[in-house]
Amino acid sequence: MAFLSHPLKPHLLSTPKPKRQTSKFPTKVRMSFQESGPSVAVVGVTGAVGQEFLSVLSDRDFPYRSLKLLASKRSAGKSVTFHDRTLTVQELTADSFDDVDIALFSAGGSISKEFGPIAVEKGAIVVDNSSAFRMVDGVPLVIPEVNPEAMDGIKVGMKKGALIANPNCSTIICLMAATPLHRRAKVTRMVVSTYQAASGAGAAAMHELELQTREVLEGKPPTRNIFNQQYAFNLFSHNAPVLENGYNEEEMKMVKETRKIWNDVNVKVTATCIRVPVMRAHAESVNLQFEKPLDEETAREILKNAPGVVVIDDRASNHFPTPLEVSNKDDVAVGRIRQDVSQEGNHGLDIFVCGDQVRKGAALNAVQIAELLL
């Protein structure tokens, strides 16, 4: 499986992407363009996740009667091909959400804070990929395979706008694997170490990693526009701001979001988030401590039957999940499933999880939320 080596080159904006593996959950909606479908707007369509929104909408044949592509004034006027139709990117304004049923946002927190409430006021259901509303009381924070009940009562056609938040990509990838085990044995403490790809910082970071790799191999000083240190052939603490408690914002997102999604303020979560020189797809080492005993064979069977999860756990050949294997895939891969030898009585497990940050960690999760609105 090759990674996306040239994300968002100009010609890709008008070239349909090939079909890709789709997740086991939820069942695909096979309708696509339909007069009775919702009107959909994609905000931030020219960014890495915005482009992935279009790919996922196409792959899952999401039903729509109209599709509005929105971006900054700088990107307005660009052409995008979708379902054999050429659409023009429009400038995002306060008037963009007239008659919009579902608005998929991925344009950054400041844009979401400015335009999300405007869209809601005009009756749109906003699915926001930024961190702007995740921890706001009353705003559902949803992973469809994990807590779909959080958005009960929010449906297209109710003639009322609403906000739904997409969790952080690392939280999504982690909880896709941890939640099925949590349901069986109740997680009391979770320790997560992440290995996060360039895709998490957007298309520009992916470009910079590619550029730096060439520069370093050619003996040139690496270009450092996105991160303040060399990324190629290196790894470093996640670039999110470090808080007074010593954790960075990315790490605290995992702590707070896990508690909200699981509706459990008492679960103990600690995280260390690291940038690694991988183009696309995050990896995470997750240590789980349980209230009830859970042996590794039972855990393996639970994960094999979990929606949106695939188990890659071949000890004999030392084959476990890798970012390359999950890039451009919908399912989250889990392996290295083993009893934690530091805990007695089968009360601890270690697992290793990989998931495509742009796909399930962002665009797919948002579109699955949108499917639940129909």
Q: Which domains does the chain have, with CATH numbers?
A: 39-166+363-373 (3.40.50.720), 170-356 (3.30.360.10)
**Residue 262 CA to chain centroid, in angstroms?**
17
Separation between Cα atoms, residue 366 and residue 192, nearest integer Å:
23
Assign 177 to helix, strand or coil: helix
At 180-224, the pLDDT tens digits run 999 999 999 999 999 999 999 988 999 999 999 999 999 999 999
Cβ atoms within 10 Å, residue 344: 9
Separation between Cα atoms, residue 233 and residue 216, nearest integer Å:
9
From the list 288, 298, 297, the residue with the least C-alpha distance to 352 is 288
E strand intervals along 255-329:
268-275, 282-290, 309-311
**Token pair of 51, please?**
């482009």
- Candidate list 182, 207, 238, 282, residue with the active-site label: 282
From the list 168, 321, 332, 351, the residue with the least C-alpha distance to 259 is 168
Q: In what order do the strands lie in the sheet with 39-43?
A: 90-91, 66-71, 39-43, 102-105, 125-128, 162-165
Separation between Cα atoms, residue 255 and residue 268, nearest integer Å:
8
User: Are the C-beta atoms of 307 and 147 separated by less than 8 Å?
Assistant: no
- Candidate list 169, 174, 273, 354, residue with the active-site label: 169
Largest CA distance in the chain: 62
From the list 38, 190, 187, the residue with the least C-alpha distance to 99 is 38
**Token pair of 313, please?**
């756990």
Separation between Cα atoms, residue 87 and residue 75, nearest integer Å:
13
What is the DSSP code (8-state) at residue 167?
P
pLDDT tens, the chain, 374 aa long: 333 333 333 333 433 444 454 444 444 444 466 777 899 999 999 988 999 999 999 999 999 999 999 999 999 999 998 888 899 999 999 999 999 999 999 999 999 999 999 999 999 999 999 999 999 999 999 999 999 999 999 999 888 999 999 999 999 999 999 999 999 999 999 999 999 999 999 889 999 999 999 999 999 999 999 999 999 999 999 999 999 999 999 999 999 999 999 999 999 999 999 999 999 999 999 999 999 999 999 999 999 999 999 999 999 999 999 999 999 999 999 999 999 999 999 999 999 999 999 999 999 999 999 999 99
State yes or no: is 319 an active-site residue: no
At 357-373, the pLDDT tens digits run 999 999 999 999 999 99
Report pTM.
Answer: 0.89
All residues at 6 or more sequence positions from 54 whose CB lies less than 8 Å from its CB, including other chains:
17, 42, 45, 80, 82
From the list 245, 225, 248, 226, the residue with the least C-alpha distance to 237 is 248
What 255-259 contacts at long range (C-beta under 8 Å, 24+ apart), as own/partner pairs, is 256/134, 256/135, 257/134, 257/135, 257/141, 257/167, 257/168, 257/171, 258/171, 258/174, 258/175, 258/190
Distance, first Cα to last Cα, the chain: 34
Q: Which residue has the tokens 């988030």?
A: 273
**Token pair of 33, please?**
């363009």
**Token pair of 135, please?**
């921890």
Cis geometry, peptide bond prior to residue 26 (ω within 30 degrees of 0): yes
Separation between Cα atoms, residue 257 and residue 259, nearest integer Å:
5
From the list 172, 193, 192, 145, the residue with the least C-alpha distance to 289 is 192
Amino acid identity of 293? Answer: P
Separation between Cα atoms, residue 339 and residue 343, nearest integer Å:
8
State yes or no: is 169 an active-site residue: yes
**Residue 283 CA to chain centroid, in angstroms?**
13
